[in-house]
Amino acid sequence: MIEHIPVYIKWIFALTTLCTLFLFYKMLTHAHWEQIRNNATKITVALTSWLAMQALFSLQNIYSTSTNSLPPNIFLLGVLPTLLVILTLFLSKKGRQFIDSLPLQYYTFIHIVRIPVECVLWMLFVNQGVPEIMTFEGRNFDILAGLTAPLITYFGFVKRSISMRIILVWNLVCLALLLHIAITGFLSAPSPLQKLAFEQPNIAVLYFPFSWLVSFIVPVVFLGHLTAIRQLWNRK
């Protein structure tokens, strides 16, 4: 565990992660496919097990002691499995049925978790856990996605006063913001592939609970944008 980070920051991020899990569960309970609604609890239990596994890896320093490995363990054990799951969803028939049944109104609202995430990143920067370029004081503008998510949810799906085309553009722009900070974070983390922030590398994500950022929250948000883009494009 990273000792010099204040405990309250760890608690804020842990609660943010649990909030993301809860919102994802609520979305599943409103899915258009009955099978997903009936299995929402089982899916949530599986995700909870994944979080527990990532916590174990972090607490056992499997990520923080492998900074010279290629690929880094955080990518091999925390990121790659989630990418493979997302890829499988889009390549399989049942996976696409799962994706197309997810309610966009609820999934769009989930992006609100990016507000506390960005606040935590700023606090981590202040406490020398991540570089400035990963915060809204640097090159990270991802907080805009979180701030606008409730507005898109309300005016796009409740009031229906903005078009699906605008919602599609919003998802494309926010996906670009997400990819930008994800790549920045990867290139700032200590590894043979590090290209940025050598003075203050991105070390926080190698420790508990911040490893949940790349192994859970980012994949959930990433899948949300891909799901919305696919559904909105098909509607168009």
Residue 12's contacts (CB-CB under 8 Å, 6 or more residues apart) are: 116, 119, 120, 123
Distance from CA of residue 206 to its chain's centroid? 15
What pLDDT sits at residue 11?
Answer: 97
C-alpha–C-alpha distance, residues 234 and 236, integer Å = 5
Q: Give me the percent of the chain exceeding a pLDDT of 90.
A: 89
Instruction: Return the minimum-mean-pLDDT range out of 63-67, 75-79, 116-120, 214-218.
Output: 63-67
Residue 205's contacts (CB-CB under 8 Å, 6 or more residues apart) are: 63, 74, 130, 185, 189, 211, 213, 214
The model's pTM is 0.95
Q: List the one residue out of 78, 44, 42 whose CA is nearest residue 58.
A: 78
Question: Is residue 61 left, alpha or beta, with left meaning phi > 0 and alpha meaning psi from -120 to 50?
Answer: left
Q: Give me the percent of the chain exceeding a pLDDT of 70.
A: 99
pLDDT single digits (tens) 114-162: 999 999 999 999 999 999 999 999 889 999 999 999 999 999 999 999 9
Tell whether the model's pLDDT for residue 54 goes beyond 70: yes
Residue 211 near residue 51 (C-beta atoms within 8 A): no
What is the largest distance, in Å, between two alpha-carbon atoms of the chain?
A: 52
- CA 71, 216, 16, 180 torsion: positive or negative? positive
With the CA atoms of 172, 170, 229 and 236 taken in that order, what torsion angle do they form, in degrees rounded to the nearest 10? -120
Question: Is residue 33 left, alpha or beta, with left meaning phi > 0 and alpha meaning psi from -120 to 50?
Answer: beta
- CA 88, 21, 190, 181 torsion: positive or negative? positive
